[in-house]
């Protein structure tokens, strides 16, 4: 059944009968137009559809009551009936307090897991971004597949061209995350900010709280030094006073005039506290470092905008970029922000849905067993004139009460779990998303409760409806052995539970194994005892290479003299710290690259001789840098160290890279390779390595440099001493990004660790539920066969025969369930493959563990009731009833 049919089927009968075809067409149209606006919109459309269907019922009931009133039945009699239903249901539940509590707890586990994951889905996909008409916002960048780069960053020249020629946006703007040394009374703080182009506020649809945004006139190269500050900074530093306008703030040792305060919502994409004009130069053609955002004109789709931007980009293809290497990239803003979370959240969503089904199957089995033991009651009530509808309604009320209790506890569990999760992942939770409880979540929980009540309620209800007086009353009193009622349904439910539990078990196992595999990837360096931190030298006080070199070398020497420091070195860009500087290198004697040939970008780093030792990077061939390397001057030929991937990429014929020469462009000086070092996992353990090189420090010193220290003891304990040294050398220099390498590695894996273990926990819960279910069902089946087993014992059957007779059935059920589940898991594993880091979905170890542990625990769960059955005393069991 497809989606619109299902929706139609849920609508009230009188509407459906009359308008069915038209309603289906409208459902189809609404869902299709939402799909066009993206995945998030499609999700929301389904919620709208559900709400639409749900709103039909109150008025439908009113209508029916009115009609009934017209035929004569007094309407007042209806409502006390419902009240008596509730009272009766409550009495029935209270009668079996323990059983009802177990059922509610099972549901609470299932619903809680769903609430937790839905909170994530809600925050990431459904809650509107805090901007007006946020669905018209897009993210802009440039892409260069041939350079092996998904995004290159935007160069201002391209942006200026787009700005001039685009037709499908209300406004487009660039932004560039930067961090500043912000002067204080006694030194400086490091603060994240951004430089943005003039239309930034128009794109986001925000207005300064006080003051103004800068104008296009001021957003020109060599424009005035202006700054806007965020609300939080305004409150902290300036006490929220309006006379902040016109005051100055020192950024990187320069004075900036504050002209406005931006609202909290401007903090985009997160952590940004102040803004300065981009003041980009339209003639800057090769500095790809900006990002962009745009606001689409109403009615324009992302695809149309992308086509429009490509058209606007044409003149650049015709002049500067004849190879057509770099082209514009347009993406929905939310889609961009969600990025990697998409697969993870879908996986978790799938897992919790399965968990809920397992929980419901479990509850269904328990309720069914209970309903069957109550069939005499049902039979008698039917006999004395209760209608089937009345009984059905009473069962439904019972189920709803149970599932409402489960839902309430589940909501609490889910909220608690999500808070715990977010607390343990402070760096991984996206800053733009909010995970607070809202109406949508309450709605979702209510929906989940109702769905589960229907899911677990159908089997008992069906059997209750089949009850008739004769068999219900007779079978218990007559001396014959009754056929076991509901046996087939019960077995099917247990089979399904085991199938789903083993499917989840395998998927959870695969993810945990993938996590383990990632954890054991060789990072290419030795993280133990290494701490790194970063310093940015403002160009006012450190104007040229010489001034910067002198500072870096002095600092390096003083760090090395610290007690407990084994070695120290400087690096432009430390591993796993989210930085990248890409350039292109060309090998001497290599054939000129064809226009359509891939040209992988090379990670360029500046390193001092001490860096390799401090970071523990292994030398494969040649030598490390010495103190003399790199002193020849930037325009002279020099030396470099390359990584293995670089050597393989540039000299695929496998010749010795030592002594080979490369350069960046036609006019650049040649650099001779003196050493080859092991690949370092620069972008994280799960990411591919890019070709990379190290240029000796004295040749070029960047204004932002990091330092790596190898400590003989606890690396983190060195930080206070390091701060003292830096403050002593220059009181206006804050140090930031201070972390041990082990910390960096751990942080880079927390997200994967979190979702892998979450799935493992869900699988564990599913397994527990399945075991509880199978044990309960076996007990019930045994209790139904008590008389038969008693007769067997009386006729001389041994205990072993009895246990075997009981076990045979349940083992077959469990075996079938596990087999189905594992087959399904291999298929599901393929869907997960992007998260599995190369672990095959049919990984033998995991499949074996799953089959053995599920089989064994399933056996145990039915063995206990079987053993109890074998101890049956024929005298007692035959006398029972």
Partner 1 sequence: MKNREYLILLALADADLHGLGIARAVQELSDGRTRLWPVALYGTLEELTGSGLIEELDDPNRRPAAQSEKKRFYRLTRAGRRALASETDRLAALVKTAKSRLKPRPGGAS
The residue ranges that bind partner 1 (CB under 8 A) are 7-8, 11-12, 14-27, 29-30, 48-49, 51-53, 55-56, 59, 298
State which residue, 48 or 799, has the beta carbon closest to partner 1.
48
Minimum separation from the CB atom of position 147 to partner 1 (A): 41
CA distance 355 to 764: 10
Minimum separation from the CB atom of position 44 to partner 1 (A): 11
State which residue, 13 or 83, has the beta carbon closest to partner 1.
13
Minimum separation from the CB atom of position 26 to partner 1 (A): 5
CA distance 7 to 44: 15
State which residue, 23 or 566, has the beta carbon closest to partner 1.
23
State yes or no: cis peptide before 561, omega within 30 of 0: no
Whole-number Cα distances in Å, 869 to 786, 804, 810: 8, 10, 14
State which residue, 53 or 437, has the beta carbon closest to partner 1.
53
Minimum separation from the CB atom of position 22 to partner 1 (A): 5
Torsion angles phi and psi, residue 532, rounded to 5: -130, 155
Give the largest Cα separation in the chain, rounded. 107
**By C-alpha distance, which of 146, 174, 445 is closest to 291?**
174
CA atoms within 13 A on the CB side of 453: 22
Minimum separation from the CB atom of position 73 to partner 1 (A): 22
Minimum separation from the CB atom of position 4 to partner 1 (A): 9
Query: Encoding tokens for residue 292?
Result: 């962009």
Q: 69-98 burial string, b = 16+ CB within 10 Å, else e?
A: eeeeeeeeeeeeeeeebeeebeebbeeeee
Residue ranges of E strands in 596-660? 602-607, 619-622, 638-643
CA distance 213 to 583: 35
State which residue, 60 or 342, has the beta carbon closest to partner 1.
60
State which residue, 8 or 249, has the beta carbon closest to partner 1.
8
Residue 84: which residues within 8 A CB-CB, separation 6 or more?
none
Minimum separation from the CB atom of position 27 to partner 1 (A): 6
- Helix or strand or coil: residue 182? strand
CA distance 208 to 201: 8
Minimum separation from the CB atom of position 693 to partner 1 (A): 54
State which residue, 29 or 561, has the beta carbon closest to partner 1.
29
**By C-alpha distance, which of 441, 423, 494, 502 is closest to 112?**
441
**By C-alpha distance, which of 871, 734, 696 is closest to 800?**
871
User: Could you tell me which residues are beta bridge partners of residue 328?
Assistant: 142
Residue 550: which residues within 8 A CB-CB, separation 6 or more?
none
Minimum separation from the CB atom of position 62 to partner 1 (A): 11
On whether the CB atoms of residues 171 and 138 are closer than 8 A, the answer is no
State which residue, 298 or 720, has the beta carbon closest to partner 1.
298
Q: 137-175 burial string, b = 16+ CB within 10 Å, else e?
A: bbbbbbbbebbbbebbbbbbbbbbbbbeebebbbbbbbb
On whether the CB atoms of residues 100 and 400 are closer than 8 A, the answer is no
CA distance 261 to 870: 80
CA distance 680 to 211: 48
Minimum separation from the CB atom of position 207 to partner 1 (A): 19
Minimum separation from the CB atom of position 753 to partner 1 (A): 42
Minimum separation from the CB atom of position 64 to partner 1 (A): 14
**By C-alpha distance, which of 479, 464, 321, 315 is closest to 393?**
464
State which residue, 55 or 550, has the beta carbon closest to partner 1.
55
State which residue, 17 or 728, has the beta carbon closest to partner 1.
17
State which residue, 25 or 478, has the beta carbon closest to partner 1.
25
Minimum separation from the CB atom of position 52 to partner 1 (A): 3
Minimum separation from the CB atom of position 291 to partner 1 (A): 29
State which residue, 11 or 810, has the beta carbon closest to partner 1.
11
State which residue, 19 or 867, has the beta carbon closest to partner 1.
19
State which residue, 44 or 191, has the beta carbon closest to partner 1.
44
- Environment class of 339 (CB within 10 Å of its CB; exposed 0-12, middle 13-18, buried 19+): exposed
Minimum separation from the CB atom of position 55 to partner 1 (A): 6
Whole-number Cα distances in Å, 400 to 195, 357, 406: 56, 16, 10
CA distance 204 to 183: 29
**By C-alpha distance, which of 820, 763, 644, 19 is closest to 358?**
763
Residue 672: which residues within 8 A CB-CB, separation 6 or more?
637, 638, 639, 640, 659, 660, 661
Question: How many C-beta atoms lie closer than 10 Å to residue 46's C-beta?
Answer: 15
| CA distance between the termini of the chain | 47
Torsion angles phi and psi, residue 332, rounded to 5: -55, 140
State which residue, 134 or 878, has the beta carbon closest to partner 1.
134
CA distance 550 to 557: 11
Q: What is the DSSP letter of 834?
A: G
Query: Encoding tokens for residue 765?
Result: 């819960």
State which residue, 58 or 652, has the beta carbon closest to partner 1.
58
State which residue, 443 or 584, has the beta carbon closest to partner 1.
443
Minimum separation from the CB atom of position 396 to partner 1 (A): 22
State which residue, 24 or 644, has the beta carbon closest to partner 1.
24
Q: 260-274 burial string, b = 16+ CB within 10 Å, else e?
A: bbbeeebbbbeebbb
Minimum separation from the CB atom of position 56 to partner 1 (A): 4
On whether the CB atoms of residues 202 and 212 are closer than 8 A, the answer is no
Minimum separation from the CB atom of position 535 to partner 1 (A): 50
């Amino acid at each position: 059944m497809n989606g619109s049919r299902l929706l139609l089927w849920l609508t009230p009968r009188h509407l459906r009968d009359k308008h069915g075809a038209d309603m289906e067409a409208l459902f189809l149209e609404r869902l299709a137009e939402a799909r066009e606006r993206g995945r998030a919109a499609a999700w929301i459309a389904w919620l709208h559809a559900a709400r639409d269907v749900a709103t039909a019922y109150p008025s439908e009931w009113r209508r029916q009551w009115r009609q009934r009133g017209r035929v004569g039945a007094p309407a007042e009699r209806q409502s006390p009936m419902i009240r008596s239903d509730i009272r009766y249901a409550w009495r029935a539940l209270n009668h079996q307090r323990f059983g009802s509590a177990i059922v509610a707890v099972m549901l609470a586990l299932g619903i809680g897991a769903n609430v937790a994951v839905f909170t994530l889905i809600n925050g990431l996909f459904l809650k509107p971004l805090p901007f007006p008409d946020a669905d018209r916002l897009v993210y802009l960048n440039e892409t260069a597949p041939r350079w092996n780069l998904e995004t290159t960053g935007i160069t201002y020249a391209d942006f200026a061209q787009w700005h001039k020629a685009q037709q499908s946006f209300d406004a487009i703007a660039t932004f560039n995350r930067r961090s500043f040394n912000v002067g204080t009374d006694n030194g400086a703080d490091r603060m994240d900010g951004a430089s943005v182009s003039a239309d930034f506020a128009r794109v986001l649809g925000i207005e300064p709280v006080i003051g103004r945004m800068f104008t296009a006139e001021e957003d020109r190269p060599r424009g005035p030094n202006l700054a806007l500050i965020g609300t939080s900074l305004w409150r902290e530093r300036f006490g929220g006073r309006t006379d902040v306008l016109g005051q100055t703030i020192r950024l990187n040792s320069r004075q900036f005039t504050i002209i406005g305060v931006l609202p909290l919502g401007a903090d985009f994409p997160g952590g940004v506290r102040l803004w300065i004009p981009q003041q980009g130069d339209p003639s800057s053609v090769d500095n790809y470092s900006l990002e962009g955002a745009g606001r689409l004109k109403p009615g324009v789709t992302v695809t149309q905008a992308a086509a429009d931007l490509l058209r606007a980009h044409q003149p650049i293809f015709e002049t500067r970029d004849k190879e057509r290497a770099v082209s514009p990239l347009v993406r929905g803003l939310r889609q961009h922000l969600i990025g990697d979370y998409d697969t993870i959240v879908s996986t978790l969503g799938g897992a919790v849905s399965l968990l809920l089904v397992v929980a419901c199957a479990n509850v269904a089995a328990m309720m069914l067993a209970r309903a069957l033991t109550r069939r005499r009651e049902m039979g008698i009530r039917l006999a004395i004139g209760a209608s089937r509808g009345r009984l059905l309604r009473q069962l439904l009320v019972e189920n709803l009460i149970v599932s409402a209790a489960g839902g309430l506890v589940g909501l609490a569990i889910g909220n608690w779990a999500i808070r715990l999760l977010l607390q343990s992942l402070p760096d991984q939770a996206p800053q733009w998303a909010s995970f607070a409880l809202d109406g949508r979540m309450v709605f979702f929980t209510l929906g989940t409760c109702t769905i589960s009540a229907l899911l677990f309620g159908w089997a008992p209800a069906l059997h209750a409806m089949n009850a008739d007086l004769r068999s219900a009353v007779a079978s218990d009193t007559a001396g014959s052995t009754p056929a076991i009622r509901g046996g087939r349904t019960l077995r099917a439910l247990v089979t399904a539970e085991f199938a789903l539990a083993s499917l989840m078990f395998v998927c959870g196992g695969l993810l945990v194994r993938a996590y383990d595999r990632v954890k054991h990837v060789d990072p290419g360096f030795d993280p133990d005892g290494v701490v790194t931190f970063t310093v940015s030298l403002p160009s006012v006080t450190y104007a040229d290479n010489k001034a910067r070199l002198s500072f870096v070398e002095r600092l390096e020497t003083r760090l090395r003299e610290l007690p407990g420091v084994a070695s120290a070195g400087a690096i432009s860009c430390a591993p796993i710290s989210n930085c990248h500087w890409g350039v292109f290198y060309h090998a001497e004697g290599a054939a000129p690259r064809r226009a359509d040939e891939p040209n992988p970008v090379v990670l360029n780093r500046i390193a001092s001789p001490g860096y390799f030792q401090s970071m523990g990077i292994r030398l494969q061939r040649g030598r490390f840098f010495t103190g003399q390397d790199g002193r020849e001057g930037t325009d002279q030929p020099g030396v470099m160290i390359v990584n293995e991937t670089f050597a393989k990429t540039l000299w695929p014929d496998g010749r010795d890279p030592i002594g080979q020469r490369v350069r960046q462009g036609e006019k650049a000086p040649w650099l001779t390779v003196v050493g080859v070092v092991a690949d370092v996992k620069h972008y994280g353990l799960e990411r591919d390595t890019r070709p990379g090189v190290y240029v000796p420090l004295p040749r070029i010193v960047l204004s932002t440099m990091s330092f790596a220290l190898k400590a003989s003891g606890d690396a983190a304990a060195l930080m206070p001493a390091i701060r003292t040294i830096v403050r002593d050398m220059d009181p206006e220099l804050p140090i930031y990004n201070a972390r041990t390498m082990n910390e960096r590695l751990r942080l880079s894996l927390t997200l994967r660790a979190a979702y892998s273990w979450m799935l493992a926990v869900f699988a564990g819960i599913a397994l527990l539920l399945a075991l509880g279910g199978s044990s309960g069902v076996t007990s019930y089946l045994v209790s139904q066969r008590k008389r038969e087993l008693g007769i067997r014992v009386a006729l001389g059957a041994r205990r072993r025969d009895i246990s075997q007779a009981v076990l045979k059935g349940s083992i077959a059920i469990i075996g079938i369930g596990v087999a189905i589940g594992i087959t399904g898991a291999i298929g599901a594993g393929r869907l997960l493959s992007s998260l599995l880091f190369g672990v095959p979905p049919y990984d033998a170890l995991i499949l074996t563990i799953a089959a053995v542990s599920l089989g064994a625990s399933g056996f145990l769960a039915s063995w206990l009731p079987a053993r109890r059955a074998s101890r049956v005393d024929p005298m007692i069991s035959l006398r029972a009833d």
